[in-house]
Structure 1
Amino acid sequence: MVESITMNNVNIERLKEIDKKHYFHPISSVKQFKKGPSMIFTEAKGIHVKDVYGKEYIDGVSALWNVNIGFGREELAEVAKQQILKQSYASSFYNFSHDAVIHLSEKLASITPGDLNVFFYTSGGSESNDTAIKLARHYWKLKGKEEKTKIVSFEGGYHGITIGATSATGIQEYKDMTTSNPANFLHAKPHLLNCELGDKNDPNYGKSIRGIIEKEGADTIAAIILEPVLGVGGVRIPPAGYLKALRDLCDEHGILMITDEVICGFGRTGKMFGVENWDVVPDMMSMAKGITSGYVQLGAVAFKESLRDEIIELSGDNFFFHGFTYSGHPTACAVALKNIEIIESEDLVGNAKRMEQVMMKGFQYLEEKHSIAAKSRGVGLMGGIELLADRDIGKEFDPSANAAPTVVEECLKRNVILRALTFGGRNVVPLAPPLIINKRQVETIIEVLSDSITAFEKKR
């Protein structure tokens, strides 16, 4: 009889069986459900994670783009413990408040751009984007413009998986899960700068945000929502002047501008917030992920003081019927405060910018060494490189080649966790490690990625 594999007196095969029987995994291969978990993690420290077999990996994507300060920080554990002992929970309904949420709001106001000084709290990014969309429509309703309900977002944009956020998401696979999606969500082609500046001769003009506004009528559009850098859609960076053109377009037509900073926020792009790379201030800004570096669930929507003042003035004696049980959760707020303190005191925003140069040099090396590596890009520690069957003519791999997934699988064999972004026929391998990473560690990821591309090339 073969002895069961154990780790710290835990039967690993039993863990797999329990998982297979009782845990329905989010955003995963359903086929894999029948086999059990592909990996079981037990420990994490710094930029490394460890599985049940004791094998250690570099996490090259910060779990889900969110562990900005790295894993296992004792400071956050201690803050959470002390806050739980002091005040484990408090509701913010009915104008109740508590000191943790007040202090966090003050801190956020000091680091957000422009006059984005008012905050509504959620449990994560999907709730934040749903809230921003709902607030935009509520605002126009209060102003007597109830026909302004449409939301314009990008093809390839990702905003979450609640009903509203899914509808704003411009990736078809997420929409296909349900038989019905809410109306009044439109999707534009991203980064058509000349179109947004008014070039009607461009064949894609009708699919630009400006073209959609002209077709639908500005009096029907409540807001546009966009990621400063498209994340899940392939790490796509806007051209210079693009966000400014959208800001001007929104001002021109009386449309609210919402930026989704769920991935980009809190240092990921080498600025505290992604929009700061292009000197733009939106009307609302949704946040999550890096606000606590994933240690506790928290999200937020920042909006302009002037917007808050108008909503209060126009609401009169009306009640505000929107909120979550965990809006402004004390422990999450306390952890967020300490997380931001670490980001600032350790200059992790600056480190992200410095490591951008190392990452981009590595990408250049990959393009020089591998004929299938192309179109590398990055801002801060948010980068990506594409795999093309023929980069000279921009030919994509046939889906059956599984180019990016195979390369990522090879990276895993070499103790580096990355992910494959294959939406829209692309094969993109993103790089988004914790902001604490150093030069040698970035170079190690690049070396592993190179070896993994070589392995894929040999399989071809």
Structure 2
Amino acid sequence: MSTALWHPQAHMPTTLKERLVIASAQGVWLTTEDGQRLLDLPAGLWYANIGHGRERVAQAAARQLTTLETYHLFGIHANRPALDLAERLRALVPVRDASIIFTSGGSDSIDAACKLARRYWQQLARPTKTIVLSRDGGYHGLHGFGTSIAGLDFNRAGYGTDSLIPETARIPLMDLAGTRAEIERIGPDNIAALVAEPVVGTGGVHPPSDGYLAGLQALCREFGILLIADEVVTGFGRTGEWFAGHRWGIEPDLMTMAKGLTSGYLPLGAVAVSDRVAEPFMAGDDAPIFRHGITYAGHATACAVAMENLDIIEDENLVERVGTLEPVLAAAFGALTASPLVQEVRSVGLMAGVQLLPDVAADDVIRGCRQRGVLTRLLAANTLHVCPPFVITPDEIRFAADVMADALAERYAA
């Protein structure tokens, strides 16, 4: 098999033996080049919220492409889809009077948010506030900052230092007392921001305990630390609210978005910046320039696709649908705890992690699911990924769980 394509996050010798080429998709179903039909249990990489193959989205992209494919946003320039989408996001996000920085995806958004957090404190003449905290088990993409703040140690390993950007540190995953102790050890005058996923995703799907996120926000406010909520996975309905911040009652200083913003139809990300953080850069002739930007930030066609995606979510009441399907998914996959190979099942909204015992060969279970018509993948801590598109039916949820149960039983019998 050809080595022309180097896959991301892949053990290439294995990939070259088992490459799975997806040829087409519709709704929650994928079709491979060799004709196999697979239920897309991970929604791609957490992104296919409205499902695959939407003609409305293709038509929206075509209309924009034949009008203005894009024009950059640097300096005084703008395009209408970017302006309209920024206003729409301001009205949706749980961030006060948000200004929107557009990016090309989640990793871009994390880099922009972390840079802005540091730049903000420099502008306020607080030069020692440079350290960015993140949680054990957290995942925030793989750009410079994302790699440096990774709470999954293997994503930081192999580059010659513990962190590409040295001013980073980890805090415990769900431990407010331990977080307070670490903040006090480092010194709040040295900390710029704390980045947290409301629901840990790649780290194994860990929903927050009761009161945890509110407590984390309170600590940030007590110590003068900017809270960056990473809603790249949870945003746009995944937890049964438009954003996890709504579900758990937090109002971050900055919030990162991507994935569900376009449901994967085109690459686009964003950072919602609160008025508090934006204000020093917005007012007065002597306001500084935030020297950050990427060529395709606010790409006109990507923004038009995002607008159509949001229209579909609203027209079809898909956020409410997630709330309706949440107990169906919890019951179907929760039943897998009956398997002697399963350590725990964690779920919230339309996302779950089926954690296998440490010595279970998860790849064998994944292959067993694939042979039976369900595609899943491995997350951290030997956890199987469950995060279907919002258009999945209750019967399809139960089918996917039954397939996983059969694959587990086959593995146990072996």
154, 157, 160: which one aligns with 1:173:
154
Pair 1:271 & 2:226 matched: no
If you compute each CA radius of gyration, which structure gives the higher value, 1 or 2? 1
Tell me the secondary structure at the aligned position of residue 21 of structure 1. coil
| Shift in Å, 1:303 | 1.2
Amino acid at match of 1:303: V
- Do structure 1's residue 445 and structure 2's residue 400 form an aligned pair? yes
Match of 2:355 in 1: 386
Counterpart Cα distance in 2 of 1:406 and 1:177? 28
Q: Which amino acid aligns with 2:406?
A: D
**CA distance, structure 1, for counterparts of residue 384 and residue 82 of structure 2:** 37
Give the superposition deviation at 1:173: 1.3
The offset of 1:442, in angstroms, is 0.3
Residue in 2 aligned with 1:189? 172
- Asked if 1:352 corresponds to 2:319, the answer is no
- Verify the 8 A CA contact 2:346 2:352 in the aligned structure 1: yes
Partner of 1:414: 372
3-state SS of paired residue (1:363):
helix
C-alpha separation between the residues in 2 aligned to 1:158 and 1:21?
A: 28
Pairing 1:31–2:13 present: yes
TM-score, with structure 1 as normaliser? 0.87
* CA distance, structure 2, for counterparts of residue 315 and residue 167 of structure 1: 35
Give, in whole Å, the separation in 2 of the partners of 1:235 and 1:33.
25
Give, in whole Å, the separation in 2 of the partners of 1:33 and 1:310: 48
The alignment partner of 1:58 has SS state of: strand
Shift of 1:385: 2.0
Q: Following TM superposition, by how much is the alpha carbon of 1:275 offset from its aligned partner in structure 2, in angstroms? A: 1.9
Return the alpha-carbon distance in structure 1 between the equivalents of residues 5 and 267 of structure 2: 20
- Is the contact made by 1:142 and 1:315 (CA closer than 8 Å) also made in structure 2? no
The runs of 5 or more residues in structure 2 that have no matched partner are none
In structure 2, the residue matched to 1:329 is 299
Corresponding position: 1:117 with 2:114: no
TM-score by length of 2: 0.96
Alignment partner of 1:371 is 2:340 = yes
Asked whether the 8 Å contact 1:116–1:283 carries over to 2, the reply is no
CA-atom RMSD, angstroms?
A: 1.4
1:453 counterpart SS class: helix
Q: Distance in 2 between matches of 1:117 and 1:321?
A: 19
SS of 1:95's equivalent in the other structure is: coil
Change (3 A) 1:118 1:319: closer
Structure 2 partner of 1:87: 68
Aligned equivalents of 1:449, 1:348: Cα separation in 2: 25
> Aligned letter for 2:372?
R
Q: Deviations for 1:418-442, whole angstroms, at most 9, x for unmatched residues?
A: 1122x3xx22112100011110110
Identify which of structures 1 and 2 has the higher relative contact order when contacts are C-alpha pairs closer than 8 Å and 6+ apart. 2
Q: What's the offset of the Cα at 1:34?
A: 4.6
Distance 1:132 1:323 in 2: 12
1:150: Cα distance to partner?
0.2
Structure 2: distance between partners of 1:417 and 1:54: 14
Q: 1:237 to 1:33 in 2, by over 3 A?
A: closer
What is the DSSP-based 3-state SS (H/G/I as helix, E as strand, rest coil) of the residue aligned with 1:77? helix
Letter matched to residue 51 of structure 1: T
Q: 2:281 maps to which residue?
A: 311
Pairs aligned (count): 412
The residue aligned with 1:149 is 130
Is 2:88 aligned against 1:133? no
Alignment partner for residue 43 of structure 2, among 51, 62, 67? Answer: 62
* Mapping of residues 178-217 of structure 1, within 5 Å: 178-180=159-161, 181-193=164-176, 195=177, 208-217=178-187
Long gaps (5+) in structure 1: 1-16, 196-207, 389-396
Partner SS for 1:367: helix
Q: Percent identity?
A: 36
Instruction: Give the counterpart letter for 1:308 in structure 2.
Output: A
SS in 1 for 2:66: helix
How much does 1:177 deviate? 3.6
The aligned counterpart of 1:12 is none
Letter in 1 for 2:413: K
